[in-house]
Every structure is written in structure tokens, then in C-alpha cells.
A and B are shown apart, each in its own frame.
Chain A
Amino acid sequence: MSLASYAARRVALGLVQVLAVVTLVFLVVQALPGDAAVALAGDNPDPARIAQIRAAMDLDRPAPERFLEWLIALPRLDFGVSLVSGRPVADFLFGGIGPTLLLAALTLALLVPISVLVGVLAALREGSLLDRALTSISVALHSIPEFALAVVLIAVFGVQLTWLPPTAVGADLLAQPAVLVLPLVVLLARPICSISRLVRAGMVDALASDYVRHARRLGLGETRVRFAHALPNALAPAVQQVARTTDWLLGGVIVVEAVFVIPGLGTVLVDAVAARDLPVVQGLAVVFAVTTVTVNLLADLVAFRLAPRAEVVA
């Protein structure tokens, strides 16, 4: 199968997947107790008032009917309006996607070089003190959950030593990059381990493989053997993991956003679900589904390019 027809098939499948995700999200939110009117009424749940809010929000029409209308408008990229605030859903998505994208891009820009370097170094010195040290540190970091690491870093560097701002509250992320340091460290800690371990394993396998031995027999320089022949093959499995990490980052890492007060997509999602603001939740589902499908497709294509013999399954 050619790369192009493979990609086309995957895109078509992706569209079906997005539709399935959105429908599923709609059903799940419907299954939650209470609707937007109940959530908005809060501790003043006078039934008469809830009925009025419901009418004012147009919630008295059947839910499937509202869902279909929303779906029909979707191909025009019309995400509808928020039930609670009346502002367009697209505003929420644009508002949240900025901080999330910024964090994801910075994390990836640091993650890929660092983890490849760590993995390669460990593989080249397999079994050495360096290998064992890198392995121990990265596994140790991996075993700390994000929130625990965040809490410790804030307490030590933000509050006690006051080297770095403890939160990003009210800050303009681009104008005050210092607020991003601690969140980036937290976001990097675990993926560095998982990816560098995969690179190390791939590299160790590749260096022991027949084709590397053959390349050495042909008299190719050691650097060329390592980095032009062994490394690309070693990276193929890591690419899938980078894709999963990217997907995780683009979903808005809720814990990190909450602890550091970064108003990204994760925060928008939490607020929208709590408010039962269905159009906003559905809009987010579209964004998350599209990113997941796209990122995985790209990863498969990159893996295919790096190691063309690898089997691609649609």
C-alpha cells in the first residue's frame, strides 16, 4: 500500500472516530445527574427557578434534537454557543488552546532532544555507571505522580526559596516566561523516562543487530554506523510514545493546570463539565478527538519513514 492511500484511509477512519467520540461524549454527559440549569441554580435549587433557567437556556427542547442541530452546524466549524454564558464555544476553545499549545510545544521541544540524548548515552555505555545512574534517576522521576512533584517544587522553589513564581495566576505566559519553568519541569519528568528507556532499548537492539554488524564489517565509521544506521531504527518505537505524550499534553494536563493556575483546555473542560455546559464539552471533544487522530496518524507516518520495513496496520 502506498503512503498516500494509507494516509487517505486513515483520515477517513479518523473522521468516523471523531464522530463516534462526540456522540459518546454527548451520551455520557446526558447520563450525568443534573443539567446546566440544575448546576447553575447551585445551592438555590428552587424548582420554579430551575424551570425558568431551563426555558431561558432553551433546555426544554429534547436533548437529541439539540445535539443533531449542533452536529449539522459542525461542518461549517460552528461549535455553537455556551449554555451558561451565551458566548460562542469557539471563544472558549481559542482561549484555552493558547496556553495548552504553548506548554505542549515547549515541553516537546525540550523532551525530544533530552530523552534521545539520555537514551543514546545510556545505550552506548550499556551497563556502565552512567547507564545505571541515568536509569535510576529517570525511573525515580517516573514514579512520582505529577501533582506530588508539582506540590514539592512549588513548596521548595516557589514558596520557600522564592526563586520562581509558585503559580501563573493572572500572568501573561509569554511576557513572564519564569512562570512556565516549574510546570515544564513537572510535565517533562515522566515522559523523559518513558521515551529515553525506549530509545535506549531500541539503540541497544540496533547496535547488536545484523545490519549494524554488517555495516561495521564494511568498514563504515563508528559515528556513521551509530547515528545514520542504528539510531533511526532505534527511534521508531519511541515515536509512538512521543505521539502518546503529545496527545496527553494537547488534552490539557488538568492537574498541572489546576496547581499552577494555567487556564488551558483542561481547565475549560473541568469547568464545562461541572456546569453541564454541553456545547462547550462537545466542542472540546471534537478538538481532543481531532488531535488524537492527527497525532497518531503523523506518528505512524513518521515511524513508517524511519523504519520502512515496519508493518503498518490501518
Chain B
Amino acid sequence: MPLNRRGFLGLTTGLTVVTLAGCGSGATSATSTPRAGGRLRAAFAGGGAKEVLDPHLANLFVEAARSKALFDKLADLGDDVSPQPRLAEKWEPNADLTRWRITLRQAKFHDGRPVRAQDVLASYARILDPNRAFRAKSSLALIDLPNSRAVDDRTVEFALKRPFAEFPNALAAFGTYIVPEGAEDFTKPIGSGPFGFVSFEPGKSVLLKRNPDYWEGAPHLDELEFVIANEESARTNALLGGQVEYAHDLTPTTARSHASGDRMTIHRSPNSAVQAFAMKLDRPPFDNRDLREALFLLADRPQLVESVLAGSGQVGNDLFGKGYQHYAGDIPQRQRDLDKAKFLIRKAGAEGLVVKLDTSTAAAGMVEAATVFADQVKGSGLTIEVVQGNKDSYWADTLKNGSLSSFRSGAMPIETHISQRLLKGAGTNVTKWNRPEFDALYEKAVSTSDASARDEAYREMQRVLHAEGGYLMWGFADWIVGAKPSVGGISTAPANTLDWARFDKVWLG
């Protein structure tokens, strides 16, 4: 076997397992009562040159976690990935859902200034600046900023370009942080979050301190330090060696080998990342519905979860957002059915066809999943040839090229998933799903204030996608975090939601 990065990481884990085999297990310390004080060191993968403290430029997990510690959004996503009020105390739409009145909480920035309606409007204006390219821009694009206004210091009225019932999703979108009006220099960032800024060394560490005046109550910790370790093995070793108390994003293999040990506690956040294959509907061979169904039926999902995710996950039913608000959990789970798949492949005249499956190491487990799936397809008449592409340009490449590719996504509301990926003209429509009647259903959902009608529209959309869509969503990976056993208050909410990597609720026991 050629020694590549993955082989190397596997080897690392293996050796760690061997050397830890002698360690005892079972001891868990009391972490139930919060204790104040101390510095928590949290190891994350970083981006070196890419790292910034500007919360609107945040892109990496470490940047999202830092932004969350330093800043607040008007809303954020709860455990079921539905929007929860944060800096916004409440929101009230008008009857046709085109004007939204937001009441702000009484909160202060770290320099003592109050958070005002003007700060909210200025933050959103910065994100929407036509000359810049902030990630949250598309989420906020439906705000008609010139017609939005500050009613008073604690009330904002947003005008929207169209009726939109899911506006709170936009307020909770990735990167929509509220910064003080006029803030441009983020070398010493000032926010309203639970921690204040102390120091930053790009690519190495960020030190933050407790904000005693945080509106939701001061954090337990005195200090919070984010340190960068790009290799998963290094994060694990640093935790085992007592150099950090929290290691973000560990592999299922690490979790499995340390779950019973007494040197780290494994925290799993279920339903955090969907694992999938994306078929493109606008080109052969997957413009043929029978062939898509054949692929759905060829996937042995329990085997994929067991082998690729090392059991740290759940099977998927070709629908995004298991366990999230509006998820159609009543649609029967798809099972492997080789005979029916063979029949469909014959019916489609695709016997002997060789399909290229594009994949890369851009996300953990994608290459493994592609290899396992190619094996599961053997004997069906169809052959899948795994092609590994460049990881840095993978997502842009597979958006345009090929007909079948590996896919994964973090948590977001089901509405956001649909609007970004499944509508005509959506920016990242990798399956090229384009159905006017589906678009109309979406319009109906987001322009009605009747919650049950909206829920029914989402379910109908999911029924269509389950039957005919291009995403073969085979599993949902747990998000895995390791921590010192004495660390308490770590939530298992899906990654990207409010309680993920939320250090104001964490304490050192």
C-alpha cells in the first residue's frame, strides 16, 4: 500500500490504540455541577493563511466557533435546526410576510456600548455590500435594505423583497453576526458575545476572556483559548497528553478506540453531517428515473454506516435533515433490493454501463464511501468507477462536471437546503433538480403564514424528492468531539447549530 495521508492517519490511530491498550477504563468524574473559573484550551483544525477574526468572513469551523464566542446573531439554530431568538427578543411579521418587526434584547458590546437597531442595519448592510463577497450575502439577499429602518434603538423593521415566512432562518444563517456600526478593523474585535478578545496569533491561537456582562449570563470559564492543530491525530494526542481539554472533529476510529478509556470522554452529536452521492438529472445516464431508483436500491446503507462511519452515525432515507424541523420521518426507509435494481437497470437499457463516480478527500470518509458503494453495485449490471479529484476545487468541479459525485453537507434548516440546492437558479444545485411544480410548492410554503400548510408543503416536496430526486443520502454522521473527562456542559446538538462548540456553557470540573 502506498503511504498516503490517510494510511498515515490510520496508522497513527492504530498505534495509539496499541499503546493505550494497557490503560484502565470506567472512571468518570463528577461533571454535573458547574464550576466557575479556569482556562479551557480547545484544539481545532485551522486554515493558516485563511484564518480571520472578521465574523462575516468566517468559513472554517474554528472561525465559526470563535465568532460564536465573540459575537451574537439575531437568531440561531436550535437542536432541531429551527431558528431560536438570540439578540432578537422576538420577531413579528405583518400579514403578508413582507415586513418583519424585530425587538432587540438589552445587550451590550464589550466596550460598554448598547447593541442598537443601527448596529443591526449596519452589519447587514456590510454583508450585503455589492462590492464584497461575504458568505451570508445570499441568505440575506431578500432584505430590501433601503426600505428597512430603525424604529427606535431597540426595534428594527425589515422590508423584504418578497413574502418570506422563513425569515428567521435568514437571521440565523451562517455568518450573520451583529458587529458595532462602522466596524471594519477586526484585529481587536468587539462583539456582544459571551467572551471578549485578548490576543490572536494567526494559524496558532486565539485567547478570549469571560464577558461578565453577557446578556444570557456570564460564562463559567475565565478564559478560552483556541489552538490550531490541523491533523486529527495531533488533536487526539494533545488531548491525551493533557495539552488541551477539548479536541474538535475526531474520527469515528478514534472515538471507537477511546470510548471506554478514562483519558478522554467522547461526545457525539447525531445528525450533524449528511453523507450522500449526487446524481445529475440534466444529463445521461441519470436523467433516467429508473436508473436513479436502481442506484437508491443498490446502496446497502447499514453497511456503509458501519464501515465508512465506523458505526458513528445513522442510515439515511435519501432526504436531508433527519430529526430536523419539517423532516418527513413518515416516509418508509429504503432498503437494498438487488433484484429490483437489476430489473430497473435492464429496463433502462443500461446493462454493462460504466459510470464514473467523482470523489475526493475534501471531506472525511467520501473516498471510502465511494469505494464501498462501487463494491455494493457489483453484480447489478452497472459498474461504478471511482475517480479521485483535487480536494481544493472539488465542490466547484462537481457542481459543473460529471454525472455522479460524492456529497456531504453540514446541518442547516430544510428550507435552506431546498432554496440553495433544489430550486431553478439555486446557486449550488449539484443534482440539477429543476421542476416548476416543485418550485411552486416551495413558493407556497414560504409565502403562507399558516404553519400546518407550510409543514404539509415541505412534506410533499420531500415525497417527490424521495421518489425521484438525485441525492442518494445514505447516512448521517455523528459529529465527534473529545474532551477531558472533567469537562462538563458539552452539548450534543448538531454541528453548525447554536449549542455546538458553545463554550459559555462549558466548565472545567
B-binding residues in A (CB < 8 A) = 32-34, 38-50, 52-53, 55-56, 82, 84-85, 87, 92, 95, 145, 147-148, 151-152, 154-156, 158-160, 162, 165-167, 169-171, 258-261, 263, 267-268, 270-272, 274-277, 280
Shortest Cβ distance from residue A272 to the other chain B in the assembled complex, whole angstroms? 5
**Which residues of chain B have C-beta atoms less than 8 A from A156's C-beta?**
19
Q: In the complex, what residues of B have CB within 8 A of residue A48's CB?
A: 138, 427
For A162, the chain B residues whose CB sits under 8 A away are 241-242
By the criterion CB–CB under 8 Å, are B19 and A159 in contact? yes
B83 CB to nearest A CB, Å: 20
| Among candidates B12, B19, B225, B427, residue contacting A47 with C-beta atoms closer than 8 Å | B427
- A53/B229 contact (C-beta < 8 A), A42-B395, A169-B244, A274-B392 known: no
- Chain B CB count within 10 A is highest, among A45, A84, A95, A147, for A45
15 more contacts with CB within 8 A, not counting A56-B133, A85-B49, A268-B203, are: A33-B389, A34-B396, A39-B392, A43-B408, A155-B19, A159-B241, A160-B19, A169-B43, A169-B228, A169-B234, A170-B228, A170-B244, A258-B230, A259-B233, A261-B231
User: 13 pairs across A/B with beta carbons < 8 Å?
Assistant: A32-B392, A34-B390, A38-B393, A42-B395, A44-B135, A49-B135, A52-B132, A56-B132, A154-B237, A158-B241, A170-B228, A260-B234, A275-B48
Distance between B263 CB and nearest chain A CB, rounded to angstroms:
8
Does any Cβ of A come within 8 Å of B509's Cβ?
no
B 36-78 to A, binary, CB cutoff 8 A, 1 in contact else 0: 0000010100011111100000010000000000000000000
Name A271's closest neighbour in chain B (CB-CB): B48
B260-309 CB contacts (< 8 Å) to partner A: none
Please measure, in the bound complex, the distance between the C-alpha atom of A148 and the C-alpha atom of B7, giving whole angstroms.
11
Q: Are A166 and B15 in contact (CB under 8 A)?
A: no
Cα–Cα, bound, A40→B59 (Å): 8
> With A84-B49, A268-B49 given, is the CB distance from A49 to B228 under 8 Å?
no
Which residues of B89-140 are within 8 A (CB) of A?
131-133, 135, 137-138
Considering only residues 1-52 of chain B, those with a C-beta below 8 Å from chain A are 3, 8, 11-12, 15-16, 18-20, 22, 41, 43, 47-52
Q: Per-position contact with A for B360-395: 1 when CB-CB < 8 Å, else 0?
A: 001100000000000000000000000001111101
Chain A nearest CB from B362 CB (Å) reads 7
**Is B16 within 8 A of A155, CB to CB?**
yes
| Chain B residues with CB below 8 A from A32, complex form | 390, 392-393
Among all A-B residue pairs, the 6 with the closest Cβ atoms = A34-B393, A46-B427, A271-B48, A170-B227, A52-B133, A166-B241
Which residues on the A side are within 8 Å of B242 (C-beta)?
162
CB of B448 closer than 8 Å to a CB of A: no
User: Are the CB atoms of B241 and A167 closer together than 8 Å?
Assistant: yes
- A47–B51 Cα distance when bound, in Å, is 23
Is A45 in contact with B395, judged by CB distance below 8 angstroms?
yes
Interface readout for B184-214 with A: 1 if CB under 8 Å, 0 if not?
0000000000000000011111000000000
A280–B49 alpha-carbon span in the complex (Å): 8
A24 to chain B, nearest CB (A): 20
Contact in complex: A263, B203 (CB < 8 Å): yes
Contact A33 B135, beta carbon cutoff 8 Å: no
Give the contacting residue for A261; candidates B3, B238, B363; CB below 8 A. B238
Residues of A within 8 A of B238 (CB): 166-167, 169, 261
Set of chain B residues within 8 Å of A167, measured between Cβ atoms:
229, 234, 237-238, 241, 243
Contacts of A42 in B (CB 8 A): 59, 395
A32-B390, A151-B11 as given contacts; A275 in contact with B50, CB under 8 Å: yes
Give the CA-CA distance A165 to B229 in the complex, in Å. Answer: 14
Closest B residue to A37 using CB positions: B133
A46 and B428 form a contact (CB under 8 A): yes
Given contacts A85-B50, A271-B50, A272-B49, contact A151 B233 (CB under 8 A): yes
With contacts A43-B409, A44-B135, A147-B8 taken as known, whether A38 is within 8 angstroms of B15 at the C-beta atoms is: no
- Contacts of A56 on B, CB cut-off 8 Å? 131-133
Closest A-chain residue to B17, C-beta based?
A155
Report A260 CB to chain B, min CB distance, Å: 7
A260 neighbours in B (Cβ, 8 Å): 234
Bound Cα distance from A82 to B47, whole angstroms: 13
Task: Return chain B residues, CB-CB under 8 Å to A34.
Answer: 390, 392-393, 396-397
CA distance A33 to B362 in the complex (A): 14
Supposing A42-B59, A84-B49, A85-B52 touch, asked if A165 and B230 sit within 8 A by C-beta, the answer is no
Q: Is B255 an interface residue (CB 8 A)?
A: no
Q: Provide the residues of chain A in CB contact with B22, threshold 8 Å.
A: 160
Alpha-carbon distance between A261 and B204 when the two chains are bound, in angstroms = 9
- Distance in Å from the Cβ of A83 to the closest Cβ of chain B? 8
Residues of the B chain whose Cβ atoms lie less than 8 Å from the Cβ of A271: 47-50, 203
Chain A hits for B218, CB < 8 A:
none
B399 within 8 A of partner (CB): yes
**Min CB gap B151→A, angstroms:** 32
Cα of A280 to Cα of B47 in the assembled complex, Å = 13
Within 8 Å CB of A49, what residues of B?
Answer: 133, 135, 137-138, 427
A238 to B225, CA, bound (A): 45
Does B240 touch A at the CB level, under 8 Å? yes
Tell me the bound Cα distance from A130 to B418 in angstroms: 73
Nearest chain B residue, comparing its CB with the CB of A46:
B427
A95 to B244, CA, bound (A): 23
Q: How far is the CA of A33 from the CA of B390 in the complex (A)?
A: 7
User: A275 to B49, Cβ gap below 8 A?
Assistant: yes
Would you give the shortest CB distance from B6 to chain A, in whole angstroms?
13
Asked whether, in the complex, the Cβ of A169 is within 8 Å of the Cβ of B16, the reply is no
A34-B393, A261-B234 in contact; A169/B15 too (CB < 8 A)?
A: no
Closest to A279 in B: B49
Query: Is A85 in contact with B202, judged by CB distance below 8 angstroms?
Result: yes
Q: Is the CB of B204 within 8 A of A170?
A: yes
Chain A min CB distance to B8 (Å): 6
User: Distance (Å) between the CB of B504 and the closest chain A CB?
Assistant: 21
B205-A170 in contact (CB<8A): yes
Q: Do A166 and B237 touch across chains, with their CB atoms under 8 A apart?
A: yes
**Docked pose: A261 CA to B389 CA in angstroms:** 27
Beta-carbon nearest neighbor of A268 in chain B: B48
Evaluate whether A158 and B131 lie within 8 angstroms (CB atoms) in the complex, with A148-B11, A268-B49 already known. Answer: no
CB <8 Å contact, A169 and B240 = no
B contact residues around A148 at 8 Å (CB): 11
Inter-chain contacts of B234 with A (CB < 8 A): 167, 169, 258-261
How many angstroms between the C-alpha atoms of A275 and B408 in the bound complex?
20
A260 to B228, CA, bound (A): 11
Most chain A CB neighbours (cut-off 10 Å) among B59, B131, B133:
B133
Whether A276 contacts B396 by the Cβ 8 Å rule is no
Q: How far is the CA of A148 from the CA of B390 in the complex (A)?
A: 26
- CB-based contact A275/B229 at 8 Å: no
Cβ B240 vs Cβ A166 within 8 A: yes
**B399: nearest residue on chain A (CB-CB)?**
A45
Docked CA distance A178–B241 (Å):
13
